[in-house]
Homo-oligomer: A and B are copies of this chain.
Amino acid sequence: MTQSQHSRDVVAYMEELGQRARHAAQAMASADTRSKNTALLAIADGIEAARQTLARANRRDLDAGRQRGLSEALLDRLQLSEARITAMAEGLRQIQALPDPVGEVAQLSQRPSGIEVGRMRVPLGVIGIVYESRPNVTADAAGLCLKSGNATILRGGSEAIHSNLAIAHCIQAGLAAGDLPGDAVQVVEVTDRSAVGALLSMPEHVDVIVPRGGKGLIERVSRESMVPVIKHLDGVCHVFVDNDADIAKAVAIAYNAKTQRYGTCNTMETLLIAEPVAERVLADLGPMYRDAGVELRGCARTCEVLSSALPATDEDWSTEYLAPILSIRVVPDLTAAIDHIHRYGSRHTDAIVTENLGKARRFLREVDSSSVMVNASTRFADGFEYGLGAEIGISTDKLHARGPVGLEGLTTQKFIVLGDGHIRD
């Protein structure tokens, strides 16, 4: 088969998946909560019952990965350990326990014309998920899309194909148990890269794409997609310690925001401190960070106070380290802090520590990030902490969904109008 024939086959295959998904989406939109919950529990049970099979399929992927020379970090992400299999099943049970967002009617009210107008929450339709090596995304994403009444096309990394197909098998059995169409969740079986391109080029069959993975993947998907994308880019998060801060709270929050976990997108990457309290705050925090093994990169003033800090470059201010490294800048005041955040931040999560109400209100209003906090650690920016339940990701976009995206972000609202023979004059 020639290369171009092959590409045509992939496109035709994806087109068929798209048509099937569009068709299934119609049935899913009116599926009742009981059917969806039955399916979710059946998938969870099925995954636990299939531990052996899943482990075997995963071993094939791991062996192939080792032969292809994948890095240890990638192999770790690829692995379906006992604990991860249990976590997948538990995640599905948690999604099952969440309230069904579909069909909720809000703001129903009567208008002067006599009609009643409200908004009904409905699924988006067909959601394409493009992800990399973690096979557990297959179950997580399928569960969230299923509960929110959407059909899904899942395109995982080629290195996880056997694991993903084994999970897909459990999902199919679960859908059947809930009397839901098998096409409601389809795993792309073609590992060819052109399958992603085809998925991104079917706005008639796919309503939204959610890329999950590294920055390279997300940038490629955003650039190429003709379908709207809900995406998460950088998390360059700030904590600003105002001169009216309670210093004990400031120290606790700044320490927690950096050290509680290093590799997460809501970890603080830059600490901003108002000049009047800089010495006191740095005197406390310097040794704490040193003991935790955090490398400090500071502005000139910071380096003056903390001899252990290295000089920061301009690049540091816009870097998401995802590592035990922190940049620190002493700023004159709140205005300078907000300017810094606007210039270097990534609109993800930013916090102020202050006891001054006026400054807190100004920070909340003026900082244009998906989460803006007062006197709390940036690490709280998370769907579970916010009470949304499981999340499909955190959006750094402004349109549609902003911040942690849970079930609600996978739905939309349509207007409903109720009349009794009403016509317009």
Contact = CB atoms under 8 A, between A and B. Distances in A.
Interface in A1-44: 26, 29-30
Number of copies: 2
B375 A421 contact: yes
Contact of A207 (B111, B373, B398, B412): B398
Chain A interface residue bracket vs B: 35 or more
Contacts of A422: 253, 375-377, 380
Contact of A370 (B103, B379, B415, B418): B415
B415 A403 contact: yes
A188 interface: no
A424 B373 contact: no
A371 to B, nearest CB: 4
A342 interface: yes
Contacts of A208: 398-399
Interface in A347-391: 351, 353, 362, 364-366, 368-377, 379-381, 385-387
Nearest to A227: B399
Nearest to A420: B375
A260 interface: yes
Contact of A115 (B103, B122, B380, B423): B380
Interface string A243-264: 0001011001101110010000
Contacts of A120: 364-365, 372
A246 B113 CA distance: 20
Nearest to A113: B385
A299 to B, nearest CB: 23
Given A109-B387, A412-B399, A414-B402, A423 B377 contact: yes
A111 to B, nearest CB: 6
A253 B424 CA distance: 9
B380 A417 contact: yes
A406 to B, nearest CB: 12
A124 interface: yes
Contacts of A122: 365, 368
A249 B369 contact: no
B417 A372 contact: yes
Contacts of A115: 376, 380, 385
24 contacts: A29-B368, A30-B366, A103-B365, A109-B387, A115-B376, A115-B385, A117-B385, A124-B398, A125-B368, A207-B399, A260-B423, A364-B416, A371-B417, A372-B415, A373-B416, A373-B417, A373-B418, A374-B416, A374-B418, A375-B422, A376-B418, A377-B422, A381-B415, A399-B400
The 6 closest A-B pairs by CB, nearest first: A376-B419, A249-B421, A256-B423, A373-B417, A400-B400, A379-B424
